[in-house]
Structure 1
Amino acid sequence: MGEKQDPSVFFAFDHKIFTVEGAYFSLTHDTKEPCYFVNLGEIKGAIPTKSLCREFGIDDESSDSELLATIGRALKYVQEIRPNDSIPKELLDGSASWSIDDAHKEIARGRITAQILSWLRGDEEIVLNLSELQKISSDPNTKEKVQEAFREIAEKLGVQREDVVAKIDEIIRELAYIEALRDHYSKIKKINTNLGRIASIYRRDRATSEEINRMQILIDPVLRRFDREFIDIDAQTCEVMVILKNFQPTVDTVRKTRDELHQHFMIWREMLEKWDGMIIEESSEIERLLRDTYQFLARNYMQAQNWRLGGV
């Protein structure tokens, strides 16, 4: 048997209940309560994590008890945890536990570069158009202008140029996660667009039309809330000097927004997979997908439901 992993970094449990094959921690679909799921023959049992110590005689002062207390917070960042999985980085050092593409890093770099150049011109602005960002990045004069801006910014702040470069690089790394989430959000918006297209196809089918209308009513406030979240974080990271003068609070704000958006987008993962590649036409597959989508929206986004994920 291998050396025991560090329980400060891994969910390295000692009790034999955590050696059950195929067992894992997750939130229940209805109450969002953290539970330990184990296979019981043909069915799957769910044991609330708050009951595990009592049910299996786990000492309240043990490392197992401390790890169980962490499970609920950890499930904000991952959908499933198995014994010996690593503890999400968000709980350890604040960084993200999920990966992003290089393209998202380049978009974030392009946005910050555009802001640096506009600051140099004296007309700082938010640039969101991707083609405009690519044009700025490909301009042969861009690199020289950015270096000039770094020198001027360092002089104004009374710091070394290297300090400015290091902080700019760090904020780009943080904002790259926002760009990844923005990309993810575009897929959710596409579902809403497709609902409109399907409504047109089924306009003579009263029952289906009414079902689609109910879905659009449910999804509209969700999209508006997501829109506001992105508008707010763009507004708080649109001025280079403000970012540098309030660096750590800005990083903290970006990470808080990243975590909140990621938590909400996690529940869309399965639904996005169902819609991916679906041909928008009158068909039994589309009708089945509409029923699944309505159930998903009704379960997660009824008007009375708080924006905050329940039970987390």
Structure 2
Amino acid sequence: MSEAEKTSENSDLSPSTHFAFQHKIFGVKGAYFKLTHDSKEPAFFVELGEMKGAIPVRSICQEFGIDKDSTDAELLGTISSSLKFVKEIHPNDSIPTEILDGSASWSIEEIHKQIARGRITMQLISWLAGSEEIITNIGELESIANDPHTKDKVQKAFKEIADKLGITKDDVVEKVDDVIRELSFIEALRDHYSQIKKISTNIDKLRTVYKRDRGMMEDLSRIHTLIEPVINNFERSFDQIDAQTCEVLTILKNFDPTIDHIRKTRDDLHQRFMIWDDMINGWKNLQPEEDPEVERQLKATYRFLAQNFIQSQSWRLGNV
């Protein structure tokens, strides 16, 4: 595609759905927006010869004479909130759908939809029996789904709920489908979280592996102290969203606020998980055993935790 064709294509993009900037500074090859490594401030990164410069987003209008009432200025105002959902933004990228309509801009797998549907199905059946409960274990959910009586019980629950709420059965089915779709993203995040939890579990196992190595035990103790409150906070977030979506009738009575709350929790967890990608990849093929590669990853883990999760304690990991 020629430069003229690219320019023509870009001019067709709407600033209501894309970062369709007009100022020539945003046309610099390879330029992008990202949070700075140290202060986590939104910045515009451009190549300056062999070096890369970072211009704070808050300074761009003044630095390049961009009218504060212009479309470019408005789009710059959207950059900060958008970087909560994506790691990098390039000029002409789509604005995240979280900003546009509240839906998730990232995809999930079919298994997560199945888990969410199984969970809600179980809640409907148990509600019908008079004792609602939450099940997230995939084996138990599959057993329920394969029960030949499940479909009849669900249809009966739909009808009784419709009668209680004074709406049609079709309305109930539609709302339940919406809830399942939103909870599917929570299940995807729960799955992703299991990989973070595995890092914490590996740390605990390594404390047994290195129990005779005083230096390593001190390092592992420091890492454990840093990661434990992080894991507890994640667990608390999942417990809270489970508790607040455990009663189908209550969900449907407060449908819009519940959907908003699920999305807020989804966005919060997704943002908190984004910084863990490198850590997850670093531990991916490692086993909790005495190994130089494991020890290198432990040092990287400490640096990551110390940088991102400030604690009242202050110490250094040996030879970091």
Q: Does the aligned pair in 1 maintain the 2:203–2:288 contact within 8 Å?
A: no
The alignment partner of 2:80 has SS state of helix
Pair 1:170-2:178 in alignment: yes
Give deviations 1:199-253, integer Å, cap 9, x for gaps: 2222222222111110100011111111111111001101010011000000001
The alignment partner of 2:14 has SS state of coil
Q: Does the aligned pair in 1 maintain the 2:123–2:248 contact within 8 Å?
A: yes
Match of 2:279 among 264, 271, 281: 271
Distance 1:159 1:55 in 2: 57
Alpha carbons of structure 1 residues 259 and 55: separation in structure 2 relative to 1, 3 Å = same
1:225 alignment counterpart: 233
Distance 2:78 2:305 in 1: 29
Paired residue total: 305
- Runs of 4+ more than 3 Å apart: none
Q: 1:230-269 residue pairs with structure 2 within 5 A?
A: 230-269=238-277
Distance 2:80 2:209 in 1: 44
AA aligned opposite 1:262: H
Pair 1:289-2:293 in alignment: no
Task: Name the stretch that deviates more: 235-244 or 204-213.
Answer: 204-213
TM-score under structure 2 normalisation?
Answer: 0.93
Match of 1:30 among 33, 38, 42: 38
2:58 alignment counterpart: 50
2:318 alignment counterpart: none
AA aligned opposite 1:292: A
Give deviations 1:258-299, integer Å, cap 9, x for gaps: 011111000101111111112333222111111110000000
Pair 1:63-2:71 in alignment: yes
Pair 1:12-2:20 in alignment: yes
List gaps (5 residues or longer) in structure 1. 306-312
Alpha carbons of structure 1 residues 274 and 54: separation in structure 2 relative to 1, 3 Å = same
1:125 alignment counterpart: 133
2:166 alignment counterpart: 158
CA RMSD of aligned residues (A): 1.2
Task: Name the stretch that deviates more: 20-29 or 235-244.
Answer: 20-29
Distance 2:209 2:252 in 1: 52
Task: Name the stretch that deviates more: 197-206 or 208-217.
Answer: 197-206
AA aligned opposite 1:232: Q
Pair 1:301-2:318 in alignment: no
AA aligned opposite 1:128: T
Pair 1:75-2:75 in alignment: no
AA aligned opposite 1:150: F
Give deviations 1:11-49, integer Å, cap 9, x for gaps: 001111111111110111221100011122332211100
Distance 2:76 2:130 in 1: 53
List gaps (5 residues or longer) in structure 2. 314-320
Distance 1:26 1:304 in 2: 29
Measured after TM superposition, the shift of residue 304 of structure 1 is 4.8
Match of 1:136 among 115, 120, 144: 144
Higher RCO (CA-CA < 8 Å; seq separation 6+): 1
Q: Does the aligned pair in 1 maintain the 2:26–2:91 contact within 8 Å?
A: yes
The alignment partner of 1:111 has SS state of helix
Identity rate of aligned residues, in percent? 60
Alpha carbons of structure 1 residues 35 and 272: separation in structure 2 relative to 1, 3 Å = same
